[in-house]
């Protein structure tokens, strides 16, 4: 009897430890204020200091262009923020979605130089629970794809029914636009650019736990999944970009760095293979997470030139 009680006590202690560890992981990952940009940058491992001068010049140009704060409400009542660059009333608009723990005005400093100088308008949105947008729980694309529909509607109202829209996402933003591709989109959405996107929160967190923390994903992911369903209203694999692109009819350009350790390039390959729409792919050799544009600007811009020509100028 004593031995059995000891075994049950030990099992209970292990279970309690697993629950506490899962709750700790959940708060650090899914809740606003607990998910830190510094921790994300460290895990991603990209050395941004080498691009500081280029980023500084691009930022100076971007901020010199006319822009304004804009706001919408999500379907569940959150006030969401974006920054709109009308670029002289251009009818060709790039709707941009940033990465995890970032903001719209941060992730598109470099690409704003490409798009604005070529006459495109840009809308840089802050995802729910990021930047100046409201929200407690991060959507990881699963919730943000519905917010994307609201932003598209705002653009149609603001820029007119004759406008043409490209969705461009980076990391979590790329997962967002790929998950959005599985929805019924207005005819004005002409194309999607996914830069280092992941398939689902479940799969990217499993990868991080294995490769960076060197601990098994079970039962942490399963406990976090139950917590998130209760608190945020969606499961860790409720929406998976690798499944959603099977329903897509929107031309898509997939971009990824071959040296990305945060979101492995195999996820890009899987989504590219699954994508039912017309598609293109650019793998940048040696590029880490979200580094592709800066590491090989020429190849990145050439890929965009071709993609935009095929989707917007036909």
pLDDT at position 60 over 50: yes
pLDDT at position 10 over 90: no
Residue 79 is encoded by which pair of tokens? 């006030």
pTM over 0.85: yes
> What proportion of the chain, given as a percentage, has pLDDT over 90?
80
Residues 6+ away with beta carbon under 8 Å from 164:
91, 92, 93, 188, 190, 312
What residue ranges do the domains of the chain occupy?
A: 31-200+239-312
pLDDT score for 15: 45
Neighbours of 23 (CB within 10 A): 14
pLDDT band of residue 4 (cuts 50, 70, 90) is low
pLDDT score for 1: 53
Neighbours of 124 (CB within 10 A): 27
pLDDT score for 25: 73
Q: What would the mean pLDDT of 226-236 be, rounded to a whole number?
A: 94
pLDDT band of residue 22 (cuts 50, 70, 90) is low
pLDDT score for 12: 45
pLDDT in tens, 268-279: 999 999 999 999
CA distance 107 to 41: 12
Nearest CA among 239, 311, 226, 240 for reference residue 277: 311
Q: What would the mean pLDDT of 210-239 be, rounded to a whole number?
A: 91
Q: What would the mean pLDDT of 198-205 be, rounded to a whole number?
A: 95
Q: What is the mean pLDDT of the chain?
A: 92
- Written as one string, the DSSP assignment of 105-121 is HHHTHHHHHHHHHTT-E
pLDDT band of residue 218 (cuts 50, 70, 90) is confident
Which CATH superfamily includes the segment(s) 31-200+239-312? Alpha/Beta hydrolase fold, catalytic domain (3.40.50.1820)
| Residue the block writes with tokens 């995802």 | 127
């Amino acid at each position: 009897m004593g031995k059995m009680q000891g075994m049950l006590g030990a099992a209970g202690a292990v279970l309690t430890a697993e629950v506490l560890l899962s709750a700790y992981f959940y708060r650090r990952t899914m809740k606003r204020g607990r998910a830190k940009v510094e921790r994300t940058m460290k895990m991603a491992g990209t050395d941004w200091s080498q691009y500081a001068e280029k980023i500084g010049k691009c930022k100076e140009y971007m901020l010199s262009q006319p822009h304004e704060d804009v706001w919408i409400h999500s379907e569940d009542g959150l006030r969401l923020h974006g920054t709109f660059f009308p670029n002289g009333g251009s009818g060709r608009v790039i709707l941009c979605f940033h990465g995890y723990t970032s903001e719209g005005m941060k992730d598109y400093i470099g690409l704003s130089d490409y798009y604005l100088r070529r006459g495109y308008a840009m809308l840089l949105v802050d995802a729910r629970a990021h930047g100046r947008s409201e929200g407690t729980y991060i959507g990881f694309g699963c919730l943000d794809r519905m917010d994307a529909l609201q932003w598209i509607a705002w653009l149609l109202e603001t820029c007119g029914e004759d406008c043409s829209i490209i969705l461009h996402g980076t990391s979590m933003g790329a997962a967002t636009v790929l998950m959005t591709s599985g929805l019924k989109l207005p005819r004005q959405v002409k194309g999607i650019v996914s830069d280092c996107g992941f398939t689902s929160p479940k799969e990217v967190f499993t990868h991080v736990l294995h490769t960076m923390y060197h601990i098994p994903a079970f039962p942490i992911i399963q406990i976090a999944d139950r917590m998130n369903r209760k608190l945020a209203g969606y499961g860790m694999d409720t929406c998976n970009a690798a499944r959603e692109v099977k329903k897509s009819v929107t031309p898509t350009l997939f971009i990824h760095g071959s040296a990305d350790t945060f979101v492995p390039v195999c996820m890009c390959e899987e989504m590219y293979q699954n994508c039912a729409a017309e598609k293109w792919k650019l793998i940048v050799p040696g590029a880490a997470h979200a580094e592709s544009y800066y590491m090989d600007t020429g190849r990145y811009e050439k890929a965009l030139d071709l993609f935009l020509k095929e989707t917007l100028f036909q």
